[in-house]
A and B are shown apart, each in its own frame.
Chain A
């Protein structure tokens, strides 16, 4: 396919906004420039249709009925698991557990694997750029077990201090928890190198992939990590569905964390035996329609091509970064050489929250605040940032709308600029 010419006159790698119905909806009379994809992405018709079709044509409970619809629904659910396996390049679909999202995936590891394997004096090593969802479950685990939480510091450019990481990694380290991509800064962390070093020290590795899976190809076998969690809704899929990859040998030995139907083998009042993984970790009727929607989302990004998506977003990030740097008084927070799709910044004299409101009146949707990464904001000595985060449907027109809205904010606040 030839690359289409965008309205701004340059050759765009991707023009897919038409696949997403909500993007044609004006906001406050203005064209919507949706740049809050780090919070959640919009959904293509393929996903919306798949969920509706499921309820219209296939709905039944899974893994229990002898009737045709139940078997059909079960097939769709398990087909979704196979799609997640493909997305992450896991060796086996049985290594995939469906969750509500990244947060639940990390909590599952902390409470199932963690309680069975962590004892007083052990160390959990996380990093200074983690989302609260990769901090708080470990704090809870440490409180319950007497284990110690250690934190890898972040450099001024927003990268992990790898020599500090190596120094903190020791014989007591049981688990390293790290974001694949920082949600607040966009830094792409060297997860393969981190995993190699952690394994050499005898520690397992959990990767928070929430901000990665929609923006680049992920290969859990190449990374060699032990746990990888992500959310469907940041991957153009529905909210309330996500998945956790766990290496087969580890998953097999993990105890259940929630009890109920679907996760048992036999139940008596004297003794209950549990189902094999992954069903052991999916108690109760799961979010079947969510899995169907997630499956459609995975097929959608596969059809667009993750390599093309990554190249498109990188070119857009470069364009946005250059335009933002040209604005006087704007400071980008997170300047790592290897970033993905996120432009976080502060502006002299204008609080991020005020920026968010002013941009909103121009139809530009961004996130303002601490991005659920309060320790990282403290590290940079700021209460929060304004964050524009990209998706495959964004174009230079969206970035141009952002920049002109920022100029408007400066004008409103009486901040002089030479433009």
Chain B
């Protein structure tokens, strides 16, 4: 059963901070990888850009609109994956997906990203948190279609 403490877990100060002032929130002219993400259920829409050189994410950014959870998740993601190797990004995508959707995910140190784990108590909001990650995954894999959470 969700409660006020679950709500506080979901809406932590870090989430508000990234929602109010999203990091790397801009389009990227020289991106090597781009994908659009859309959650048709709530209308959240974002575009993720990445500039990959020698298998390393040199730069990453996003634009779009969404709720506090999806905006903060995208913002935190861009901070986290900048400088990572593509294999590391893909491994993190898998682990994040497990962390957000599974009741007892295998643990790793998620660092700042841990603040997103509160969505597990709000099944209707899990897709808000995963949208940016799916979109980055698609961008890296050059999927042509808009990423969907459905």
Q: Does A377 contact B (CB under 8 A)?
A: yes
Q: Does B11 contact A (CB under 8 A)?
A: yes
Q: Does B125 contact A (CB under 8 A)?
A: yes
Segment among A76-84, A326-334, A350-358 that sits at the interface with chain B: A350-358
- Which residues of B are found within 8 Å of A368, using beta-carbon distances? 42
CA distance A137 to B42 in the complex (A): 22
* Sample of 19 A–B contacts (CB below 8 Å): A28-B1, A29-B3, A349-B20, A353-B66, A353-B125, A354-B68, A356-B124, A357-B10, A361-B2, A361-B6, A368-B42, A369-B43, A370-B43, A377-B43, A383-B43, A383-B44, A383-B66, A384-B43, A412-B7
Within residues 1 to 25 of chain B, which ones have a CB less than 8 A from any CB in chain A? 1-4, 6-7, 10-11, 16, 20
- Which residues of A are found within 8 Å of B4, using beta-carbon distances? 361
Cβ-closest chain A residue relative to B128: A353
- A377-B43, A383-B44, A384-B43 in contact; A358/B7 too (CB < 8 A)? yes
Cβ-closest chain A residue relative to B65: A383
Q: Does B45 contact A (CB under 8 A)?
A: yes
Q: Produce 1/0 per residue, B105-149, CB < 8 A to A.
A: 000000000000000001011001000000000000000000000
Cβ-closest chain A residue relative to B39: A353
Would you call A354 and B69 a contact (CB within 8 A)?
yes
- Which residues of A are found within 8 Å of B16, using beta-carbon distances? 413-414
CA distance A351 to B125 in the complex (A): 13
Assign chain B's interface to a size class. Answer: 20 to 34
CA distance A357 to B2 in the complex (A): 10
Cβ-closest chain B residue relative to A412: B11
Would you call B67 and A353 a contact (CB within 8 A)?
yes
**Which of these, B6, B43, B45, B67, contacts A354 with CB under 8 Å?**
B67
Within residues 370 to 419 of chain A, which ones have a CB less than 8 A from any CB in chain B? 370, 374, 377, 383-384, 412-414
- Which residues of A are found within 8 Å of B6, using beta-carbon distances? 361
CA distance A413 to B128 in the complex (A): 18
Chain A: minimal CB distance from B115 (Å)? 15
Chain B: minimal CB distance from A411 (Å)? 11
- Which residues of A are found within 8 Å of B69, using beta-carbon distances? 353-354
- Which residues of A are found within 8 Å of B43, using beta-carbon distances? 369-370, 374, 377, 383-384
If over half of A's interface residues share one DSSP class (helix, strand or loop), that class is named, otherwise mixed; here it is mixed
CA distance A256 to B115 in the complex (A): 57
- Which residues of B are found within 8 Å of A356, using beta-carbon distances? 124
Chain B: minimal CB distance from A28 (Å)? 6
Assign chain A's interface to a size class. Answer: 20 to 34
Would you call A353 and B122 a contact (CB within 8 A)?
no
Question: Which of A28, A350, A356, A383 neighbours the largest number of chain B CB atoms within 10 Å of its CB?
Answer: A383
- Which residues of B are found within 8 Å of A377, using beta-carbon distances? 43
CA distance A414 to B12 in the complex (A): 12
- Which residues of A are found within 8 Å of B7, using beta-carbon distances? 357-358, 361, 412
Would you call A384 and B42 a contact (CB within 8 A)?
yes
- Which residues of B are found within 8 Å of A354, using beta-carbon distances? 11, 67-69
Beyond the given pairs A351-B68, A353-B44, A353-B125, 16 more chain A to chain B contacts, judged by CB atoms under 8 angstroms and listed by A's residue number, are A28-B1, A28-B2, A28-B3, A29-B1, A29-B3, A351-B66, A353-B42, A353-B66, A353-B69, A353-B128, A354-B68, A357-B7, A357-B10, A360-B2, A361-B2, A369-B42
Chain A: minimal CB distance from B99 (Å)? 19
CA distance A412 to B7 in the complex (A): 9
Cβ-closest chain A residue relative to B124: A357
CA distance A354 to B68 in the complex (A): 7
Within residues 52 to 96 of chain B, which ones have a CB less than 8 A from any CB in chain A? 65-69
- Which residues of B are found within 8 Å of A412, using beta-carbon distances? 7, 11
Q: Does B41 contact A (CB under 8 A)?
A: yes
CA distance A28 to B6 in the complex (A): 12
- Which residues of B are found within 8 Å of A353, using beta-carbon distances? 42, 44, 66-67, 69, 125, 128
CA distance A28 to B124 in the complex (A): 15
- Which residues of A are found within 8 Å of B11, using beta-carbon distances? 354, 358, 412-413
Within residues 60 to 96 of chain A, which ones have a CB less than 8 A from any CB in chain B? none
CA distance A219 to B45 in the complex (A): 42
